[in-house]
Structure 1
Amino acid sequence: MSAQTQIRRKTVRDIAKAKGGTPLVCLTAYDAPRAALIDEHVDVILVGDSVGMVVHGLDSTVGVTMDMMVLHGQAVMRGAKQAFVVVDMPFGSYEGSPVQAFENASRIMMETRCQAVKLESGVYAGETVRYLVERGVPVMAHVGLRPQAINVDGGFKAKGRTDTERERVIKEARAAEDAGAFAVVVEGVAEDLAAELTQELSIPTIGIGASAKCDGQILVTEDMLGLFEWTPKFVRRYGNVKGEISSSVEKYAEEVRSRAFPGEAETYSLKS
């Protein structure tokens, strides 16, 4: 491949420069084929810990392990050639101390070759974010509704609906920015709070259930493609993958049972 046709992967500078410009397009991926399909259309691919629910059938992200994130991160990096790839740090991999966080973040980056990690950022996480950034680990923060805190919150609940919650989300975002995060995911907050955060922060805000006021948007790919019967309020379905798979499998089953498949075109014969 010549230098003129070589594909350039997006960098952390490309993401940071998007602040206030054309919104960043972000989706999740957990395997090489899906990453390859979405790669040319998106700016950021997130290997989210949502893989636990989407792929492994867990009821939350809390049971996701480092080994799972590394395995799926490696697969996505094989499929994506130009998108900026971020891998989630799972629950329990960074909360203990900045040293623990660096050990796990460096493992993720070394073994997957991704460009950054993402962690859910309570105010307490500022020290950890700074520790990682100073040691060469780009960090995307995550504020608002934090899925890893489901057991404290008692479910997936929108944030920032009271003055106390609103102030906490703002503090979380400011702490992440001050510590050196290059972008922040804002999940499940009211439009006015998303707008305020986007205006106040110098780093891009990437919304999920946080309105079009953000500097970018992210969705779980399987949700927006209609793979599941139920999707959150903030998801718009752009396809009906569930229906397509179901009808295709139904047709296959019919043809197998009637011996219509395999036919002559799918059958080997002796060479003459």
Structure 2
Amino acid sequence: MTAAPTGARRRPLLAAARGSFVWGYAAITVFGFAFVAISAFKSNAEIFADPFALPESWGFDNLTRAWTTAHIGDYFVNTALVAVVTTVLSTLLAATVAYTIVRMRFPGSSLVYLAFAIGVGVPLQALLVPTFIVMNNAGLLDSLTSLVLVYTAFALPKAVFLLAAFMKDVPGELEEAALIDGAGELTIFRRVVMPLCRPALATVAVLEFLGAWNEYVYASVLIRSPENRTISLGLASFSSEYASDYGLIAAGVLITVVPVVIVYVLLQRHVVAGLSTGALKG
């Protein structure tokens, strides 16, 4: 009997190792989230008595205090405004730029696409000082507008790169049929290309929302006043100010995480479709 090739024997082991890693990582993540969520409803005494036990009573005192007394509510509103505006602007601009590069060919379009592709690999920390100088000269320091502009600009290379790669595989016959029916470029873009790119658009939107929601470095440099803090800045100061109140800290973390989970759950189907399609195309 011929022995099985070494590669064939290793495949089940590699698949088992990958599966174990994924399920182990998922278990740790779910456990951490559950621990924080339960702790948000417990007093310090209950946490110290038994960190893993359920609360004696499911009160909302910690959540209320975190939202009002610790000003997490103000930070939440600021962050939601910045994240939503950034997501809408970056997604629409990236879709427009990607369509222009892919479908409306012009001299130098390949170089423009290459510039966006190179921009994906530029470390954002390297642009921190120039960004601060530009925002200071423009008089936009300590404003939410500065965060929206910066986050949108930094989101464009990745978004354009992803959407352009997706749009290249949209059948050109559909656009030709729309042109024959008398549709203009704007109509084709809105009615033909955008619906077909919905999975990619959802993927880009989720990535940009998460990036804007969790960003800390640029917010810490561009924002100074407490009333303009985002939730990442607020949570950092909040954790140091209420370092001994673990239930309150857990409530603040829970308020921070819940919107991210909701956004992903709502767009999960489109994101998975977009990533799966991208994997097949690759």
**TM-score (normalizing by structure 1):** 0.25
Choose between structure 1 and 2 for higher RCO, CA contacts under 8 A separated by at least 6 residues: 2
Compare CA radii of gyration and give the structure with the larger one: 2
**TM-score (normalizing by structure 2):** 0.24
